Amino acid sequence: MQITALAGGVGGARFLRGLLDHLGPTAGHPDPSDPQPSPARLTVIGNTGDDITLYGLRVCPDLDTLMYTLGGVIDEGQGWGRAGESRRLQDELVAYGAQPQWFTLGDLDLATHVVRSQWLGQGLPPSEVTARLAARWGLPDLGVRLLPMSDDPIETHVVVDEGDGPLAMHFQEWWVRLRAAVPAQRFVAVGMDRARPAPGVLEAIAEADVVLLPPSNPVVSIGVILGVPGLREALRATSAPVVGVSPVVNGAPVRGYADACLAALDLPATASAVAGLYADLLDGWLVDEADASAGPWPDQVQVRARPLLMRDRTAAAELAGATLDLARELAPRRPRS
């Protein structure tokens, strides 16, 4: 079974680790002396709209959260960054007065950004750089192929108004420095109109048996991926059922500020509103038991109520299993026009 998933950072990564736990160890690499692993069983299309250049280094927070979580080196408590991290290098940068000082980068994590920036500087495309980084953490051996949504630079910016008229800032500044406390008027994906899907992205959607939308932020994670020209059309055209998991439980995001993102679209933080954003491509939708009667749901979408809180890996694996059950029920789907 070929599974393709769209994913942001922490919510997507925890769900997809549960999916791998549910699927069990890969039969994909029976002979460790054979450097060629079997083809991927899971292709992850990661959001790169959160990417940012800091201290001259290219940082890809969502791709790295996916890579560290699936590779088993994530800081569990935080949900992002490396376990066992220290902060000596950034303390030195701060002592020099280097900016910004609001984005935390640990020493081990910084090595990822140094190597990424070096490879990008040598002219390798981001998809190749991502594959090289992911290889170190064993993703190919797990049967996972991690793809950036695009090789073209796309950055999510946020337009706010603190009283002096509209002001655009990088998404990370709004999310991390301002903690989304200043209302967003709108989001702009800078570079999107000229962007193309990364190599392999459209094929992974067309050739999938199942497409999953994990409980990632519907606006700045999944919404940005869906904005890559051609991607939405591919999701409508595939014969794989598209099954999603609500990131909103009982009328609130489980973590983060998805409510503040939805408010910029004049939408309430409900499982129903999120489903509406995917209405043209969605076949199955998992909502929490607390939201079972909190429709309306889009036409043609089969809704199932399950416990959606990923309290631990077991709960995440059960949730992933429930998405596959629903996908099997709905396969093959008739492509959407």
Neighbours of 111 (CB within 10 A): 12
Single out the residue of 52, 147, 254, 262 in contact with ligand GDP (rule: CB under 6 A): 254
If one asks whether residue 9 binds Ca ion (CB under 5 A), the answer comes out as yes
Which 3 state secondary structure label does DSSP give 195? coil
Single out the residue of 308, 322, 324, 326 in contact with ligand GDP (rule: CB under 6 A): 308
If one asks whether residue 156 binds ligand GDP (CB under 6 A), the answer comes out as no
DSSP code of residue 27: T
Contact by Cβ (8 Å): 271, 297: no
- Report strand pairing: 242-245 vs 284-288: parallel
Range in contact with ligand GDP (rule: CB under 6 A) among 3-11, 26-34, 157-165, 323-331: 3-11
Select the binding partner of residue 151 from Ca ion, ligand GDP, none (C-beta < 5 to 8 A, by kind). Answer: none
Q: Which is nearer to Ca ion, 219 or 282 (CB)?
A: 219
- Report strand pairing: 184-190 vs 155-161: antiparallel
* Range 320-332 burial, b when 16+ CB lie within 10 A, else e: bbbbbebbeebbe
If one asks whether residue 67 binds ligand GDP (CB under 6 A), the answer comes out as no
The span from the CA of 291 to the CA of 245, in Å, is 12
Contact by Cβ (8 Å): 252, 259: yes
What kind and span of H or E run contains 145?
A: strand 144-148
Neighbours of 264 (CB within 10 A): 18
Q: How far is the CB of 48 from Ca ion (least distance, A)?
A: 10
Q: Which is nearer to Ca ion, 48 or 272 (CB)?
A: 48
The span from the CA of 261 to the CA of 8, in Å, is 14
Range in contact with Ca ion (rule: CB under 5 A) among 59-67, 94-102, 222-230, 326-334: 59-67
Cβ-proximal residue to Ca ion, closest one: 9
Cβ-proximal residue to ligand GDP, closest one: 11
- Report strand pairing: 144-148 vs 42-46: parallel
Segment 210 to 239, residues that bind ligand GDP, using CB under 6 A: 215-217, 221
If one asks whether residue 10 binds ligand GDP (CB under 6 A), the answer comes out as yes
If one asks whether residue 8 binds Ca ion (CB under 5 A), the answer comes out as yes
Single out the residue of 51, 62, 151, 291 in contact with ligand GDP (rule: CB under 6 A): 62
If one asks whether residue 12 binds ligand GDP (CB under 6 A), the answer comes out as yes
If one asks whether residue 148 binds Ca ion (CB under 5 A), the answer comes out as no
Select the binding partner of residue 282 from ligand GDP, Ca ion, none (C-beta < 5 to 8 A, by kind). Answer: none
Q: 91 burial class (0-12, 13-18, 19+ CB within 10 angstroms)? A: exposed
- Which residues of this chain interact with ligand GDP, rule CB under 6 A? 7-12, 62, 65, 215-217, 221, 245-247, 249, 253-256, 258, 308-310
- Which residues of this chain interact with Ca ion, rule CB under 5 A? 8-9, 50, 62
